[in-house]
Amino acid sequence: QLQASGGGLVQPGGSLRLSCEASGGTFRNYAMGWFRQAPRKEREFVAFISRNGRITTYSDSVKGRFTISKDNAQSTLYLQMNSLKPEDAAVYYCAARSGVISSTIIRSANDMNYWGKGTQVTVSS
């Protein structure tokens, strides 16, 4: 099970940190990612981190502003979001994929097999 939290209302230029707590599995064995979906838009890739945390990748729209991290001891995934823009507003979902090697990189929602409920991020003045 995945449980995302940390969303809320923030002004443009502000920061938020999303968390995703995992239970029911061996967290270190999962590659994980964040995706988001804005109203009337398709779910899109935001960030990915490999099983061992050594590989990260980001969408071009968030690169340099967002940081994904993974605490295997706490079974928690994070997304630090800085310099937020109105276009970052969306429901953010954490997702996990089992059965992959450490060098696997995933950017497609279709390749994730576990999903948490989303957390709403609103960016507005």
46 or 26, higher pLDDT: 46
pLDDT the model gives residue 103: 85
- Mean pLDDT, the chain, rounded, equals 94
Residue 95 has what pLDDT? 97
Q: What letter does residue 28 receive in the DSSP assignment? A: G
pLDDT above 70 as % of the chain:
100
Mean predicted confidence (pLDDT) in 14-20: 98
Answer for the pair 82, 69: CB distance below 8 angstroms, yes or no: no
Average pLDDT over residues 50-77: 95
Encode pLDDT of 38-59 as tens digits.
999 999 999 999 998 999 999 9
* Spatial separation of the C-alpha atoms in residues 71 and 20, rounded to whole Å: 10
Work out the widest C-alpha separation in the chain, in whole angstroms. Answer: 43
pLDDT band at 65 (very low <50, low <70, confident <90, very high): very high
